[in-house]
Amino acid sequence: MIPLFVDLKGFKVCIFGFGDVGKRRFNKILHANPDKITIYTKYIGRGEINKYENNYRNVEFIICDINNMLDDDLKDTIQKYDFIITAIDEKNNKRIVNISKKLNKFISSSTFEKDINIIIPAYCNVDGVYFTVYTEGKSPLIAKNIRKLVENYLKNHEYEILIQNNLRDFLKNNISLQKDRKKILEEVFKNEDFKREFLELIDKYK
């Protein structure tokens, strides 16, 4: 596998299960802007459904028990979506993974990680800077702690992100060689006085 960032605009996503894991997957998927997210679950109240469907125009819930669905029923359901996420019991996760793979769908599961083709890892986003970490299921807690450390670091260095972004734009427009731009950036970030003055200029003219 290789890490990818995916914009889901134009795609349909299906989530089986809406417990703690399903909700975490849902919250991450929302940020990828899918055209439709359909959630199949048997445990959810009408008030919670209304809350989600009123707040998110692209979300719908279907109340059902996957245990009562035959493989052919699951196949017909999965066929309608581009990305499949399953976060229910192990037995049904396995059924959904197997059917999804036969249909050449992108499939993520809370179990059977060796058999799936999409991982939704722990990640953070600070001012457009993304960081993600994945431990192959060995230690989700380690992944979570690393993500928090990086997120705190980025939040404490937002001014450097701002400086570098603006300075890179300037250098791209004025210096053609990438190696020369890199050398300048490295030298600049050793100079605290320059960073302070450059921030003042950005604030003055933004």
The pLDDT of residue 205: 57
The whole-chain average pLDDT of the chain stands at 85
What does the DSSP assignment read for 18-58?
-SHHHHHHHHHHHTT--SEEEEEES---HHHHHHHHHH-TT
pLDDT of residue 36: 95
More reliable by pLDDT, 26 or 175: 26
pLDDT at 66 over 70: yes
The CATH fold of domain 12-120: Rossmann fold (3.40.50)
Higher pLDDT, 128 or 88: 88
Q: What is the average pLDDT across 132-138?
A: 78
Q: What percent of the chain is modeled with pLDDT above 90?
A: 37
Q: Coil, strand or helix: which one is 95? A: helix
Domain ranges of the chain: 12-120, 158-205
Per-residue confidence (pLDDT) for residue 100, from 0 to 100: 96
